Amino acid sequence: MGLEKKVVSIRLDEDLIQNLKEAAQKQNRSLSNLVETILKEYASKQQQS
């Protein structure tokens, strides 16, 4: 079984959202998946520090 995911609402600048959407599209990902990947990488790096 997979991990249960929670819904989180955040506020971001429109320009940032557009940049993230474009990056997600280039990587054939959803915006949600891209943001999750970015946050996982950040959290991993923070644990290593």
DSSP codes, 10-43 = ----HHHHHHHHHHHHHTT--HHHHHHHHHHHHH
The answer to whether 45 touches 37, Cβ cutoff 8 Å, is: no
What is the rounded average pLDDT of the residues 14-22? 98
Percent of the chain scored above 70 by pLDDT?
Answer: 96
CB neighbour list of residue 12: distance below 8 Å, 6 or more residues apart: 20
User: Would you place residue 49 in the very low, low, confident or very high pLDDT band (cuts 50, 70, 90)?
Assistant: confident
What is the pLDDT, as a whole number, of residue 11?
97
C-alpha to C-alpha distance for 35 and 20, rounded to whole angstroms: 8
Residue 2 clears pLDDT 90, i.e. is over it: no
Residue 15 clears pLDDT 90, i.e. is over it: yes
What is the rounded average pLDDT of the residues 6-22? 97
